[in-house]
Structure 1
Amino acid sequence: MADALKLELKPRHAEDIPKLVWIDGEDGKLEDQLTEILIAFGVVAEADYRQGQVAHHAYLLKRREENEARVVRRRLESERRDREKREREEKAHRDRLFGEAADWRTARDIRGFVEEVLATRPEGYAELSDWAGWARSEADALDPVINGALSAADPSFHPDDEADDFDLDEDEMEDDL
C-alpha cells in the first residue's frame, strides 16, 4: 500500500505509556480506528496532564522549601549581626569604663602625689604652689567624675538584662587593676 497513513502518539510526561502507532493496513483503514485513537488521545492527554501537575507540585514544594530555608538563613544572619553589634557596643562601653577607671586612678594618684610633695616640703610650699595648682588642674581634667565624662551619663548606654554575661566579683576586679 503506497498511500498508507500512519499516526504516532508519544506522551511528553507519561513515560509509563509507550508510543502508540496506528497505520492503514490489514486491520483496516485509519479512519476505521478513530474511536480507539480518540480514546488513546484522551488517556494520553489525561496522563500527560497529571504528570505535569505532579511535576509542578514537586516544583512548588521545592521552591517553598528553598524559600523557607532562605527566610531561616536571613533571620539567622540578622540575629547574628544584631548579636555582634550588641557585643561590639558592650565591649566599647566596657573599654570606656575601664579607661575612665584608669583615668580616675591616675587623677587620684596625681592628687596624692601633689599632697605628698607639699607635705614633705612645707618650707617650699610657696614656690610649689603654682606647680601644685597646675598638677591639680591636670588631675581634674583627667578625672571623669569631675570633668563630666562618665559613661554612666552616656544616654546611648542602655544595659539590658542579657548584659550580665560580664560579671566580675570585687576580688577579680582588684586583681585586674
Structure 2
Amino acid sequence: MPVYTVHAPSASGADVRAADGFIFVRDGFHLWAAILGVVWLAWHRLWIAMIGWIALMAAIDVAMVQLRLGASTIFIVDALLALLLGFEASSLRRWTFSRRNWRQLDVVVADDLEAAERRFFERWSTRQRGPGSGPPVDRGAPPPVRDSRGQSFANPPPLPAGGIIGLFPEPGGQR
C-alpha cells in the first residue's frame, strides 16, 4: 500500500480554513520524474532541485565525455541517475516543503489518494474537536490494584520447597 505524507503551510495553521491547502505526497517511485526529470521538477516547482539536477547531469556527462567513455556507458549512467531521481522525487518534494516552512501533519497509508484523504481527514477532524467532544465511552470498572488486601492477585504465589525457580529443582543438580 502506498504511504502518503500530509503537509500544511505553517503560516495558515492547521485549522479547518486551511484544509484546502494541505498537500499529500505519495512516497515511492515516480515514473514521470524518471522519464522527464527536468519537466517533472519544474511542474512541481522544485526550482533548487531542478537547478541542482541540471548541474549534476551536465557535470557527470562532461566528465564522462572527457574520460572518453562510450555512448552506451554514458546512456547507462544517465539511465541510472534518472532512476535515482524517480526514487527520490517524493523526498525532494518533502525537502522543498520543509525549506518553505511547511509542517508535516501526518503519515497515512491508503490504496489511493482519495482513500488517504478520507483517512487523514477522519483522524484530523476528531483531533480538532478534542478528546472530550466525542460520545461518551463506557470503560467499565476501574482496573484492579496490587496493594488491595483480599485480592487473589495481591500476593504472589509461594516459592517451591527448595526456593529454586526453573528447570533445576535442587541446587547443584544435573544439567
Q: TM-score range by the shorter chain?
A: under 0.3
Name the TM-score, length of structure 1 as normaliser: 0.24
Structure 1 or 2: more strand by fraction: 2
Structure having greater relative contact order (Cα 8 Å, sep ≥ 6): 2
Q: Whose helix proportion is higher, 1 or 2?
A: 1
Higher Rg of the two aligned structures: 1
